[in-house]
Amino acid sequence: MSHSEISSLILAALVGFTTLTSYLSSRQKDARREIRLARAAIEDMEDWRHRVTLLAASSGVALPDAPDSWGKYLNQ
């Protein structure tokens, strides 16, 4: 192999590595954003659950233990 062929291979490897690093960094940022959104959704759900519990307690309504069944229970 000539010097220019070796230089071309090294350059191609560096470009490939840089591209891969950039792609992985982008995916990591996307994953972190998705995790933040999921955490915010969980916090919103917990806040909603807490508000429904307080509202029910202040109204004298006894809710079932399983929050999944609250909607059916409250719509009766």
Dig out the tokens for 18 from the structure: 């840089």
Q: How confident is the model at residue 69 (pLDDT cuts 50, 70, 90)?
A: low
Dig out the tokens for 59 from the structure: 């109204």
The answer to whether the pTM exceeds 0.85 is no
Q: Contact at 8 Å (CB) between 67 and 73? A: no
What would the mean pLDDT of 17-35 be, rounded to a whole number? Answer: 95
Q: What pLDDT, on a 0 to 100 scale, did the predictor assign at position 1?
A: 80
